[in-house]
Structure 1
Amino acid sequence: MQWQNNSVYNWTTDNVVDWLVNFAHLPQYVENFRRNQFDGRMIPRLGANEKHYISSVIHIRDVRDKRRLIIKAADLVLFGPSQS
């Protein structure tokens, strides 16, 4: 499946924030995502931690939170949004 065919690709910032809170369980970073107007097209950057994107742009420094975000984002890219 091509990434552009994944429904997540078309997510708005609000959709990403909803996922961040309800599925990644990282509500403390909502403002960081909103400030950067983070939308669905940017999700693969999280899974790949492209050029330390998580640390330098989104300003998430906690190693456990970064790890959780990377895993959840990779899952989202590979398998799409949860059906639950």
Structure 2
Amino acid sequence: SPAQVVYVGDRLDNDVLPAQAIGMHAVFLRRGPWGYLHAGWPEMATVEHRIDHLGGIHQVIERIDEDSATPNSPDTTHSR
């Protein structure tokens, strides 16, 4: 299911917003010209996860795993 996917992208329009729209966990990676240009867009307020380098992705995945393990979470059946 899309909720089991973590999508990392540096563009809001082509990466992050479409991934979120279908239910993926989208991560905005602020790097390169698009990453910095899009960081100022109002749509950034809807982005659940943001990182400045790929080394931060493990913390995002841990947070997603913790959130999905809570009893009120809609997706508690994914494998690790």
Scaled by the length of structure 1, the TM-score of the pair is 0.28
> Structure with the greater relative contact order (CA < 8 A, sep ≥ 6): 1 or 2?
1
Structure with greater Cα Rg: 2
Scaled by the length of structure 2, the TM-score of the pair is 0.29
